[in-house]
Amino acid sequence: MMLDISKSAKSFLEALPGKQYKQIAERVLGLSVNQDPHDSRHLSGYPGYKRIDQGEYRIVFYVEGNVIRVPCIGKRNDDEVYRQLGRKG
């Protein structure tokens, strides 16, 4: 499986402190091995989209053919990640 991480998700990830960057990057890379982690949940209102959490962060993704697309990453306690997703979709 290939990973496609959006420009905004990359920017968010690169701005994180080292420890959080490493944790989230590992979760995102782990999606290429397992596209349906045990803690993933479907997003209501966004068919095909799922989310996983890593600490205080949320990773939104969907599988399209042989590609895992990550349109946004954001804080769990902040609805900004869903606003970003709404603008993209």
Domain boundaries, the chain: 2-88
Is pLDDT above 90 for 21?
yes
Question: How confident is the model over 23-40, as a mean pLDDT?
Answer: 94
Window from 1-5, 62-66, 72-76 with minimum mean pLDDT: 72-76
Tokens of 6: 């959006």
Residue type, 16: L
Confidence tier at 88 by pLDDT (50, 70, 90): low
Confidence tier at 60 by pLDDT (50, 70, 90): very high
Residues 2-88, CATH architecture: 2-Layer Sandwich (3.30)
DSSP run (H or E) holding 37: none
* Per-residue model confidence (pLDDT) at position 72: 92
Question: How confident is the model over 76-86, as a mean pLDDT?
Answer: 74
| Contact criterion met (CB below 8 Å) for 28 and 59 | yes
Burial class of residue 41, CB neighbours in 10 A (0-12, 13-18, 19+): exposed
